[in-house]
Amino acid sequence: MRRYYEFAVVVVLVGLLALLLMQALERARGDMEETIVQAEAAAMRMGLIEVVAHRETYGGELPKSSNPVDWVATPPANYVGERDGQPDETSIWYFDRRAGELIFVFRDGRRARFRLSRDASVDTQRAVVAGVGLLRLEDHRE
């Protein structure tokens, strides 16, 4: 009978450790998703700098679109295009036409929002050339 109690205690301990591991993995996944969003935004900022630098060097017009994906050569991974509302999928990028924002939807429902700025201040924003930059707005939760 004592062996059954020992076995039950071991099973409970293994279950608790598995639960703690699952929670830690979930947090790590969320951190990894945020890192991917930051990397994609940095790549888009560099693409915007390239477009503006080309225009400054060779002349011409900047794109008229407020969608930063239209400005860069390579869209972010999992970009599903322009939408009028939030899609049901998660871990995707889309451009909300009504809000004029590029949005990444996290698995937990949080939304990272970005807006193309044509009058960004060099002192306050990263990667700004000739006033053009990609601003991160406050995240929203759905």
Query: What tens-digit pLDDT sequence spans the chain (142 residues)?
Result: 788 889 999 999 999 999 999 999 888 888 899 999 999 999 999 999 888 888 888 888 888 889 999 999 899 989 999 999 889 899 999 999 999 999 999 998 899 999 988 775 545 555 556 667 888 888 877 6
Please tell me the predicted confidence (pLDDT) of residue 137.
87
Q: For 95-136, what is each residue's pLDDT tens digit? A: 999 999 999 999 988 999 999 887 755 455 555 566 678 888
pLDDT at 135: 83
Alpha carbon distance 24, 17 (integer Å): 11
With contact defined as beta carbons under 8 Å apart, do 111 and 105 qualify? yes
Please give the backbone phi and psi of residue 85, each rounded to the nearest 5 degrees, phi first: -155, 180
**Residue 13 forms beta bridges with which residues?**
none
Residue 55, token pair as written in the block? 């225009």
How big is the chain by its Cα radius of gyration, in Å? 22
pLDDT at position 129: 62
Question: Counting beta carbons within 10 angstroms of the beta carbon of residue 105, is it exposed (0 to 12), middle (13 to 18) or buried (19 or more)?
Answer: buried
Alpha-carbon span 29 to 46, nearest angstrom: 26
